[in-house]
Amino acid sequence: MRALVIPFLLGVLAGGFVLLVAAIALGVTADAAGWGSFRIGIGPIVLVEFERRAASTAATFGAGLTLAAAACGALNAAGAAILRRRLR
């Protein structure tokens, strides 16, 4: 069990850190570069939503970030399981 939990948690941490900073950087860049409103996500699951209003801008990070981080964790755990099997 530990052999899967640790890679999963490390994958969540890795994916979470990278996605969070990337999402903030995207919001800052969109604001500075004068981009119009946009939304990144799949269906109802939102990763980042950038909204340009008349006098302000807003960047929203959706639950998609958490789900994407969890997906990174699952991928890492799968990768670790494959590597472990090859090492045997």
Partner 1 sequence: MIELGDAIDLAPGVDLVGLRLADPIRGCMIPLNDAARLVVSAATIEEAASALTSAGASDGASDALAFCGVLNTRGLLSVRIPLRARVARRARAFRYGLVLHAPVRRVAVRGPSGVARGLAVPALVLMLALAPVGVVAGVVGLAAAAATGAGIVLHEVGHALALRGVPYALILDGLRPELLHRRLGVVRRRSVAIAGPLLPAAAAVALSLAFRPVAPVVAPLAAHALALSVLADDGRNACGLS
Q: Which is nearer to partner 1, 4 or 67 (CB)?
A: 4
CB burial of 31-41 (b: ≥16 within 10 Å; e: otherwise) equals: eeeeeeeeeeb
Q: Which is nearer to partner 1, 43 or 70 (CB)?
A: 70
Whether the Cβ atoms of residue 28 and residue 86 lie closer than 8 Å to each other = no
Positions in the binding site for partner 1 (CB under 8 A): 3, 6-7, 10-11, 13-15, 17-18, 20-22, 24-25, 27-29, 72, 76, 79-80, 83-84, 87
Q: Which is nearer to partner 1, 12 or 64 (CB)?
A: 12
Helix (H, G, I), strand (E, B) or coil at 38: strand
